[in-house]
């Protein structure tokens, strides 16, 4: 009986030791996670600047404007089964999207103070035309030549177009004067 009691006490002590060891290990692991989380927070603060967040927000809104104009046109006055009217709806929705993007990017994203708005608008439209051609080229090569899935290629294309639009706007259209 005494040996049995001794074994119970030893087992309890061993379990207590294991629990203490596991708690110490857990605390050390959590400290490591805290350090990594702080590094991640610092990286996000550097990458997700106010400008980037505003660009993403107004990019989504630009897409909504473009789609709204397109759907409004094809559900009211233009017939999407007519190839010419389909392209007219597509072009007008693109123009509405670019106009909305210019106004919001100028005022809220890049906070431009450029006096010559016509020159700035010209640069903006030119840069958007460049990324439109990029989009068309990616789609042509990815879908027509390489026979890739059009939905996947379009997603890849859109990511590259968004990055291209931001870079062109940042360094070519709304560059800050020194």
Q: What is the 3-state secondary structure (H, E, C) of 85-118?
A: HHHHHHHHHHHHHHHHHHHHHHHHHCCCCCCCHH
% of the chain at pLDDT higher than 90:
53
% of the chain at pLDDT higher than 70:
88
Q: How confident is the model at residue 9 (pLDDT cuts 50, 70, 90)?
A: low
Between 18 and 83, whose confidence is greater? 83
Quick one: pLDDT at residue 6?
A: 58
Between 169 and 7, whose confidence is greater? 169
Quick one: pLDDT at residue 35?
A: 76
CA 53 to chain centre: 9
**Short-list 164, 174, 171, CA closest to 119:** 174
Task: Give tens-digit pLDDT for 62-114.
Answer: 999 999 998 999 999 998 888 898 889 889 999 999 999 999 999 999 999 99
Name the residue ranges covered by the structural domains of the chain: 1-47, 50-173
Q: How far is CA 117 from CA 27, 123, 162, 170, in A?
A: 58, 10, 23, 16
Task: Give tens-digit pLDDT for 141-156.
Answer: 998 899 988 889 888 9
């Amino acid at each position: 009986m005494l040996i049995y009691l001794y074994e119970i006490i030893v087992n309890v002590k061993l379990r207590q030791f294991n629990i203490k060891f596991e708690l110490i290990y857990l605390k050390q692991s959590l400290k490591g996670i805290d350090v990594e989380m702080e590094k991640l927070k610092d990286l996000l603060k550097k990458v997700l600047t106010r400008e980037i967040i505003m660009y993403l927000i107004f990019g989504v809104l630009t897409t909504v404007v473009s789609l709204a104009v397109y759907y409004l046109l094809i559900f009211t006055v233009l017939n999407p089964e007519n190839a010419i009217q389909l392209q007219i709806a597509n072009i007008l929705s693109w123009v509405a999207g670019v106009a909305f993007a210019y106004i919001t990017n100028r005022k809220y994203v890049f906070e431009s103070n450029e006096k010559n708005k016509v020159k700035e608008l010209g640069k903006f439209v030119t840069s958007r035309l460049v990324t439109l051609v990029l989009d068309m080229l990616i789609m042509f090569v990815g879908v027509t030549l390489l026979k890739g899935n059009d939905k996947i290629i379009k997603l890849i294309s859109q990511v590259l177009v968004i990055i291209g639009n931001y870079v062109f706007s940042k360094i070519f259209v709304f560059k800050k004067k020194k």
